[in-house]
Amino acid sequence: MNAPGERTLKVGHGVFDPLRGELVLGDRTVKLRPRTAVLLSYLVQHPNRAVGKDELMQAVWPDVVVTEDSLVQCVKEIRHALGEAGHDWIRTLPRVGYAFVASDLSQQQLTAAPPAESPADPHAAPPAPVRWRLVAGLGVLALVIAGATGWRSWPGSPLASASAPPRSFVVLPIVNLTGDPAQDRAADDMTEAVTDIFGRGLLKVVAPSTASTYKGQLVDVRSVGTKLNVRYVVQGALRMDESRPVLTLRMADASNAVQLWQQELPIGPGWSQHLREDVDGITTAFINAMRTADAQRSGNPDAVKSAELVSRARDLLRGPPATTETERQQQVQALLEQALRLHDESASAWALLAFAYLYDVRFSSDRARKVKQAVAAAERSVELAPTSVPANITRGWVYIEEGRPAQALRMFDRAVELNPKDAWGLASRGYGLIHLGRPQEALESVRQAMRLSPNDPKLVRWHTFEGMALLQLGQHGAAVQPLAHGATATPPHAFAHLYLASALALSGRVEEARAQVARFQQLRPDFTLRRWRAVEVSDAREFLAQREHIYEGLRRAGMPE
Are residues 85 and 173 part of one domain? Answer: no
Q: Does any domain span residue 53? A: yes
Quick one: pLDDT at residue 511? Answer: 92
pLDDT(159) > 60: no
Which string of b and e fits 494-515 if b means at least 16 CB within 10 Å? bbbbbbbbbbbbbbebbebbbb
pLDDT(162) > 60: no
Tell me the mean pLDDT in the region 86-95.
78
CA 237 from centre of chain: 26
Q: Can you tell me whether residue 237 is helix, strand or coil? A: strand
Are residues 180 and 276 part of one domain? Answer: yes
Summarised one tens digit per residue, pLDDT across range 187-200 is 887 887 777 766 66
Quick one: pLDDT at residue 429? Answer: 94
- Domain with 547, as residue range(s), is 459-561
pLDDT > 90: what percent of the chain?
A: 13
pLDDT(148) > 60: no
pLDDT(49) > 60: yes
Quick one: pLDDT at residue 59? Answer: 81
Quick one: pLDDT at residue 165? Answer: 62
Phi, psi of 520 (to 5 degrees): -65, -40
Quick one: pLDDT at residue 102? Answer: 62
Average pLDDT, the chain: 76
pLDDT(151) > 70: no
Q: Does any domain span residue 342? A: no
Summarised one tens digit per residue, pLDDT across range 377-415 is 999 888 888 877 888 999 999 999 999 999 999 999 988
Quick one: pLDDT at residue 144? Answer: 31
Phi, psi of 12 (to 5 degrees): 60, -125
| Amino acid letter, 99 | A
How big is the CA angle at 372 (ends 413 and 522), to the nearest 5 degrees? 90
Instruction: Check residues 429 and 250 and name the one with the higher pLDDT.
Output: 429
Quick one: pLDDT at residue 1? Answer: 45
Domain termination site, one of 80, 106, 132: 106
How big is the CA angle at 166 (ends 161 and 172), to the nearest 5 degrees? 65
Quick one: pLDDT at residue 70? Answer: 76
Are residues 255 and 185 part of one domain? Answer: yes
How big is the CA angle at 104 (ends 99 and 106), to the nearest 5 degrees? 65
Are residues 87 and 175 part of one domain? Answer: no
User: Residue 13, class by beta-carbon neighbours within 10 Å (0-12 exposed, 13-18 middle, 19+ buried)?
Assistant: exposed
Q: Can you tell me whether residue 234 is helix, strand or coil? A: strand
The CATH number of whichever domain residue 223 belongs to comes to 3.40.50.10610
Cβ-based neighbour number of residue 327 at 10 Å: 11
Q: Does any domain span residue 420? A: no
Instruction: Check residues 143 and 272 and name the one with the higher pLDDT.
Output: 272
Residue 84 has, within 13 A of its CA and on its CB side, a CA count of 0
Are residues 273 and 184 part of one domain? Answer: yes
Are residues 165 and 57 part of one domain? Answer: no
Tell me the mean pLDDT in the region 319-344.
80
The CATH number of whichever domain residue 548 belongs to comes to 1.25.40.10
Tell me the mean pLDDT in the region 16-29.
81
Confidence of residue 278 (pLDDT cuts 50, 70, 90): low
Separation of alpha carbons 493 and 490, rounded Å: 8
Q: Does any domain span residue 182? A: yes
Q: Specify the range with the lowest mean pLDDT, choosing from 17-26, 79-88, 100-109, 162-171.
A: 100-109
Q: Does any domain span residue 296? A: no
Domain termination site, one of 286, 309, 332: 286
| Amino acid letter, 61 | W
Summarised one tens digit per residue, pLDDT across range 338-382 is 888 888 888 888 988 998 898 888 877 888 899 999 999 999 888
Tell me the mean pLDDT in the region 137-160.
32
Strands 175-176 and 232-241: parallel
Quick one: pLDDT at residue 275? Answer: 57
Summarised one tens digit per residue, pLDDT across range 62-80 is 656 666 767 888 888 888 8
Q: Does any domain span residue 75? A: yes
- Model pTM? 0.56
Summarised one tens digit per residue, pLDDT across range 212-248 is 888 888 788 888 888 888 888 888 888 877 667 778 8
pLDDT > 70: what percent of the chain?
A: 75
Confidence of residue 282 (pLDDT cuts 50, 70, 90): low
**Which residue in 11, 39, 24, 165 sits closest to 102, CA to CA?**
11
Are residues 165 and 102 part of one domain? Answer: no
Domain termination site, one of 286, 312, 345: 286
**Which residue in 270, 34, 64, 246 sits closest to 171, CA to CA?**
64
Instruction: Check residues 242 and 127 and name the one with the higher pLDDT.
Output: 242
Q: Does any domain span residue 407? A: no
Are residues 272 and 164 part of one domain? Answer: yes
Q: Does any domain span residue 200? A: yes
Are residues 463 and 537 part of one domain? Answer: yes
> For the chain, how many structural domains are there in total?
3
Separation of alpha carbons 346 and 478, rounded Å: 42
C-beta of residue 430 within 8 angstroms of C-beta of residue 445 = yes
Quick one: pLDDT at residue 435? Answer: 93
The CATH number of whichever domain residue 24 belongs to comes to 1.10.10.10
Summarised one tens digit per residue, pLDDT across range 449-505 is 888 777 677 888 899 999 999 999 999 999 899 888 877 766 667 788 888 988 998
